[in-house]
Amino acid sequence: MKKISFILGLLLSVLILPAQTQERSPTPDMAEAYIQSPVDDSAVSSPVTVRFGLRGIGVAPAGVERPNTGHHHLLIDLADADIPSFDLPLPATNQVRHFGLGQTETLLELEPGQHTLQLILGDHMHIPHASPVISEKITITVTE
């Protein structure tokens, strides 16, 4: 049992250590992320089509290391205090959705009520860039 625990611990340290020591990707000048639609303060019905926008930086799938690129992560109903660390790979949760194939839009099923949406770009390792490329947070109201 101790041998198995040791091996598991060793494997975890090998997997986690590169992420902790990973140098963050440089951010191109004037890089910007934004939500094309829906617009801030709009009333929408579910499912909601969310279109992502970028300026000054390109899209590349996760795992593909190309200069001046990244892929989208959508923060849903995430309070400012709960935004993940910019020094580690962004987690994959119901509130932090990954678009590692390079997708530039998604269809979201949201409950009726008020919701916030925000984009953050991650590099090939899901880590935000040296100067994070993050959109303004928008608020939408899903009607019944």
CATH number of the CATH domain containing 133: 2.60.40.10
CA–CA distance, 28 with 25 (Å, rounded to integer): 10
Angle at 15 between CA 98 and CA 92, to 5 degrees: 20
Examine residue 2 and state whether it is found in any structural domain, yes or no.
no
Mean pLDDT of the chain: 87
Q: What is the pLDDT of residue 80?
A: 85
| Domain presence at residue 10 | no
Domain assignment present for 43: yes
- Containing domain of residue 56, as a range? 25-143
Residue 8 lies in a domain: no
Residue 3, in any domain of the structure: no
The kind and range of the H/E element at 10 are: helix 2-21
Question: How many folded domains does the chain comprise?
Answer: 1
| 5 within domain boundaries | no
DSSP labels for 45-111? ESSEEEEEEEESSEE--TT---TTEEEEEEEES--GGGPPPSSSPPP-SSSEEE-TT---EEEE---
Parts of the chain with a pLDDT under 70: 1-22
Domain assignment present for residue 57? The answer is yes
Predicted pLDDT of residue 130: 92
